[in-house]
């Protein structure tokens, strides 16, 4: 059970209790109105938002790995908005002036059991559920990592997936709506001084008390206030500085290597944004994922291929950035910066063959230290290139003892021309050239 159940209770300190309880009170104050708002927007009874919170908070505290993440819909502006809205409703008789109020909220604990959905409907709900799960997990994991980095502890992504899954399972069995964690939600908790999930458990207990005794307090809440809460939460998600920051992640070298795909993250973000605005949330999500994969494949198919020279200290570096590096007569030392696989095999072959066909070059040394993997297509390409260069009185030599690259190439070529270091490979190339 140690691998599944959260470990934070074992290291809990009594001095944290006061801060955790205060944080739990703060979270509760903003969770309740936000839960009502999201349920209203979803077109269900407002109390459904409250039903989701207790079980979700307890189960995430039990299975999640973050000490700070809070699951459930809420916003940092909700408490102030609700207080002002209720006061205005009471003092100004907003209902008498035609302003719609939340109205009756069913009190009491939620009904327990699976949702009243026909078995045939589960397949129809699967696609939407996958989208909700992807978005919720990505957002919650990002928030959890942010606060874990600040507090100096680690996040286990597998436990996060388990915790968020358990939270949604509990919410569903309590007739609640889907929940997730986000940076804006967790900021309320962390800013209030939370040190552990005791704050979440406190908020869960207070939400139960709200369901039992305090629902009438929110019945006079104007619906425009709920709309304002949701709008404020959505506005926080529109992060134009983040888009600008992604656009600035670019250099001339990246532009030369990858062309328009040099700004891959920026393009994927724009695709997701446009997809959400034009189609809907789920299609926009999958459009962003699809564009990201296409850009990843495009960049992987165009690895940077650099000719290397040796500095006086012995390091092999890119000649384009180190003009003082020396080349080796008769040998071209080349580095491929990326994995070798079917999508880039021909591009790499053309580049290496061009080096091998230079005047006075009798050996091409491939520095495989930056090649993390090689597939069968690329291995066959290297073996074929070795034979092709041999017909032109040249050879291909692989440097660096990278496990699968060395083994696969040796298996394909059968000549064993794979060396531990670039220096050894260059020495072997020089010896072979001298014997010609």
The first and second tokens of residue 170, run together, are 């509990």
Look at residue 251 and tell me whether its pLDDT is greater than 60. Answer: yes
What is the gyration radius of the CA atoms in the chain, in angstroms?
30
pLDDT, residue 81, reads 55
Strand order in the sheet with 418-419: 316-318, 304-310, 331-337, 363-367, 395-399, 418-419
Query: Each residue of 187-237: pLDDT tens digit?
Result: 888 888 899 999 999 999 999 999 999 888 888 878 787 777 667 666 666
The first and second tokens of residue 357, run together, are 């066909």
pLDDT band at 87 (very low <50, low <70, confident <90, very high): low
The ranges assigned to domains in the chain are 8-236, 239-300, 304-434
User: Pairing relation of β-strands 395-399 and 418-419?
Assistant: parallel
Q: List the beta bridge partners of residue 396.
A: 364
pLDDT, residue 88, reads 63
Region 361-365: mean pLDDT is 93
Distance CA 207, CA 201 (A): 10
pLDDT, residue 117, reads 80
pLDDT, residue 158, reads 92
pLDDT, residue 77, reads 45
Q: Which residues lie below 8 Å from residue 141, measured CB to CB, with a gap of 6+?
A: 155, 157, 160
pLDDT, residue 433, reads 63
pLDDT, residue 75, reads 45
pLDDT band at 1 (very low <50, low <70, confident <90, very high): very low
Q: Which of 65-79, 93-107, 179-193, 404-418 has the lowest mean pLDDT?
A: 404-418
Distance CA 203, CA 181 (A): 14
Query: Each residue of 288-339: pLDDT tens digit?
Result: 889 999 999 999 999 999 999 999 888 999 998 888 899 999 999 999 999 9
- Location of structure tokens 């529109």: 238
Distances from the Cα of 262 to the Cαs of 97, 243, 272, 274, in angstroms?
57, 15, 17, 20
Question: Which CATH code is given to the segment(s) 304-434?
Answer: 3.30.750.24
């Amino acid at each position: 059970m140690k691998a599944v159940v959260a470990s934070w209770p074992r290291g809990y300190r009594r001095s944290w209790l006061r801060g955790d309880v205060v944080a739990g009170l703060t979270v509760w104050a903003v969770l309740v109105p936000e839960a009502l708002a999201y349920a209203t927007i979803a077109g269900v009874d407002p109390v459904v938002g409250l039903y989701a919170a207790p079980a979700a908070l307890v189960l995430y505290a039990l299975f999640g790995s973050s000490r700070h993440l809070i699951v459930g819909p809420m916003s940092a502006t909700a408490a102030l908005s609700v207080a002002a809205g209720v006061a205005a409703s009471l003092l100004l008789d907003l209902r008498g002036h035609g302003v719609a109020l939340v109205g009756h909220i069913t009190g009491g604990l939620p009904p327990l059991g699976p949702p009243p959905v026909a078995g045939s409907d589960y397949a129809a709900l699967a696609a939407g559920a996958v989208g909700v799960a992807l978005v919720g997990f990505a957002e919650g994991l990002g928030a959890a990592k942010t606060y874990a980095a600040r507090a100096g502890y680690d996040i286990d992504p597998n436990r996060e997936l388990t915790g968020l899954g358990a939270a949604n399972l509990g919410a569903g069995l309590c007739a609640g709506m889907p929940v997730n964690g986000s940076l804006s939600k967790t900021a309320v908790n962390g800013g209030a001084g939370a040190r552990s999930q005791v704050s979440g458990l406190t908020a869960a207990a207070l939400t139960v008390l709200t369901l039992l005794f305090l629902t009438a307090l929110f019945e006079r809440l104007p619906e425009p206030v709920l709309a304002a809460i949701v709008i404020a939460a959505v506005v926080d998600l529109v992060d134009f500085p983040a888009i600008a920051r992604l656009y600035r992640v670019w250099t001339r070298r990246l532009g030369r290597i990858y062309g328009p795909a040099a700004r891959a993250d920026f393009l994927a973000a724009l695709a997701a944004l446009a997809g959400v605005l034009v189609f809907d949330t789920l299609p926009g999500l999958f459009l962003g994922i699809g564009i990201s994969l296409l850009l990843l494949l495009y960049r992987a198919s165009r690895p940077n291929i650099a000719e290397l020279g040796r500095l006086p200290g012995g390091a092999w570096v890119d000649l384009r950035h180190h003009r003082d590096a020396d080349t080796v007569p008769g040998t071209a030392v080349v580095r491929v910066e990326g994995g070798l696989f079917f999508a880039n095999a021909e591009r790499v072959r053309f580049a290496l063959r061009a080096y091998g066909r230079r005047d006075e070059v009798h050996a091409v040394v491939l520095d495989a230290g930056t090649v993390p993997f090689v597939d069968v297509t690329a291995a066959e390409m290297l073996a074929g290139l070795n034979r092709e260069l041999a017909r032109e009185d040249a050879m291909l030599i692989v440097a660096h003892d990278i496990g699968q690259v060395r083994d696969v190439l040796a298996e394909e070529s059968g000549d064993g021309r794979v060396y531990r270091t670039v220096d050894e490979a260059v020495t072997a190339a020089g010896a072979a050239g001298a014997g010609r």
